[in-house]
Structure 1
Amino acid sequence: MTRRRVPKEVRERQMLDAAVATFGRLGYRAASMDGIAERAGVSKPLLYLYLNSKEELFTACIRREAAALAAAVTGAVDAGESPERQLWGGLLGFFTHTADHPDGWAVLYRQARTTGRPFAAEVDVLREGLVEYVAGLFAAAARDAGCDAALVGREVTALAHALVGAAESLADWAGGAPPASGERPEPKDTAATLMDFAWPGLEALLARARTPGTT
């Protein structure tokens, strides 16, 4: 009997899955290519054949997990909804994905940010994209409220940065040690907490900045 050959894309996914789990649980420095190869069920030379070094493998993990998180956020948003409902959908998508993929989130939030600049820069690309996306939702709300363009380019961007930072911190908290009750919060509850914090603040900001004569 001949051994069935595993397709290249399937083998690559298996190796990346193993690498994300290893990096997420052990950290970049403690993880080894031997351990990742063993977890993936491949030889170490084969792992190096697909990805030339530990650094390249870690970068590939960061990029894959960042793309998956961004897709989860944008995919949870209905473009036909109001900016408020779009923000809710994006937050729910964010917290659901980070809860369902704790190793991937650990790679992005804990490992990549603290291991070194080349890796942190990869996460910066993700964060900038999320900030731009949230700022766009806030800008739409500002226009609907009759606010001037100066607000859209200044306070709205600052608030988007604050919200993304708060979402990252809450996702890390929610995925950490469970509280005294022994239960981690549900993604919808975490999303609601941040929504209750962010949207009233935006509405207060818009109320102060409305152009005279608008309602």
Structure 2
Amino acid sequence: MGAVKTKRMPRAVREQQMLDAAVRIFGRRGYMAASMDEIAELAGVSKPLVYLYLNSKEDLFTACIRREAAALTEAVRTGVRADLPADRQLWDGLRAFFAHTAEHPDGWSVLHLQARTHGEPFVGEVRSMREEIVAFVTRLIAVAAREAHQDPHLAEHEVGGLAEALVGAAESLAAWANATPGVTARQAAATLMNFAWAGLGNLMRGRPWVPPTGEA
């Protein structure tokens, strides 16, 4: 066992240190297998201090989810300039997303794998983050498509469905990229742009794909 550090530091700094350790342990070992002893040792504090600051393993995991979710959404938002064309905004947003998930693989594991497999309230925390990102992508697609079609009333559910599909594809691709040596954030973003923007580009030009007639 490592020696426990006793140097005094501000509570906020100490708490972030605990969260850093917790994200690493939760991300690599999973919520059920992670122990508070491991987290305390990695953080360089006593286990009672972890409980004093963060109450319980469940509260600690929730705090990790909230912190990592806020960091991811902020990275995507700050990576996009609103004055650029829609395809450039999407490209920049995807690059920011893949760069952040690559730089913080343990945090992404907490959000994408661990939190989603252990029920409420963890699933609800991730859902809130995802809804924010989907809403952001929905607005991006809606503005571009409505301008292209000169139609301010383009169906909201159609645009929302496209955003859901795009975010879901980005999530799966991030997990694949993190597990595949040599794949960069730029390459992952380019892959998804090639997959998605060709279809979105046709939609912007008024050439949507139409299902065959006569089918239910």
**TM-score (structure 1 length as normaliser):** 0.90
**Equivalent residue for 1:148?**
151
Match status 1:26 vs 2:37: no
Match of 2:105 among 93, 102, 106: 102
- Whole-angstrom CA distance in 2 between matches of 1:59 and 1:154: 31
Q: Give SS of 2:121's match.
A: helix
**Cα offset for 1:150?**
4.3
Report the aligned-residue RMSD. Answer: 1.3
Is the contact between residue 175 and residue 184 of structure 1 (CA under 8 Å) also seen in structure 2? no
Cα displacement (A) at 1:84: 1.2
Alpha carbons 2:15, 2:53 under 8 Å: kept: yes
C-alpha separation in 1, matches of 2:150 and 2:120: 38
Q: Tell me which amino acid in the other structure corresponds to 2:207.
A: R
Partner letter of residue 194 of structure 1?
L
Q: CA deviation at 1:87?
A: 0.7
The residue that corresponds to 1:208 in the other structure is: 207
Q: Following the alignment from structure 1 to structure 2, what is the Cα–Cα distance between the partners of residues 184 and 80?
A: 32
Instruction: Work out whether residues 146 and 154 of structure 2, in 8 Å CA contact, stay in contact via their aligned partners in 1.
Output: no
Question: Which of 92, 112, 115 is matched with 1:112 structurally?
Answer: 115
C-alpha displacement at 1:184, in angstroms? 2.5
Q: In structure 2, how many angstroms separate the alpha carbons of the residues matched to 1:63 and 1:136?
A: 23
- Is 2:133 aligned against 1:130? yes
Structure 1 residues not aligned, in runs of 5+: 210-215
Q: Does 1:192 align with 2:194?
A: no
Q: Distance in 1 between matches of 2:135 and 2:152?
A: 16
Other-structure match for 1:51: 54
Task: Give, in whole Å, the separation in 1 of the partners of 2:183 and 2:207.
Answer: 34
Amino-acid identity (%): 61
Contiguous gaps of at least 5 residues in structure 2: 1-5, 209-216
Q: Deviations for 1:84-107, whole angstroms, at most 9, x for unmatched residues?
A: 111111000000000000000000
The residue identity in structure 1 corresponding to 2:122 is F
**Runs of at least 4 residues off by over 2 Å:** 146-152
**Aligned residue number for residue 8 of structure 1:** 11
Aligned to 1:158: 161
Change (3 A) 1:144 1:150: closer
Matched residue count: 202
Residue 3 (structure 2) aligns with: none
Q: Does the CA contact (< 8 Å) of 1:24 and 1:111 recur in 2? A: yes
Aligned-partner Cα distance in 2 for 1:72–1:201? 26
Q: 1:83 to 1:160 in 2, by over 3 A?
A: same
Q: Over residues 171-202 of structure 1, what are the superposed CA-to-partner deviations in whole Å (9 max), with x where a residue is unaligned? A: 000111x3xxxx33110010011011111111
| 2:86–2:140 contact (8 Å) kept in structure 1 | yes
The CA distance in 2 between the partners of 1:73 and 1:20, in whole Å, is 20
9-18 vs 141-150, greater mean Cα deviation = 141-150
Q: Which amino acid aligns with 1:120?
A: V
Residue type at the aligned position of 2:171: E
Q: Which residue of 2 aligns with 1:212?
A: none
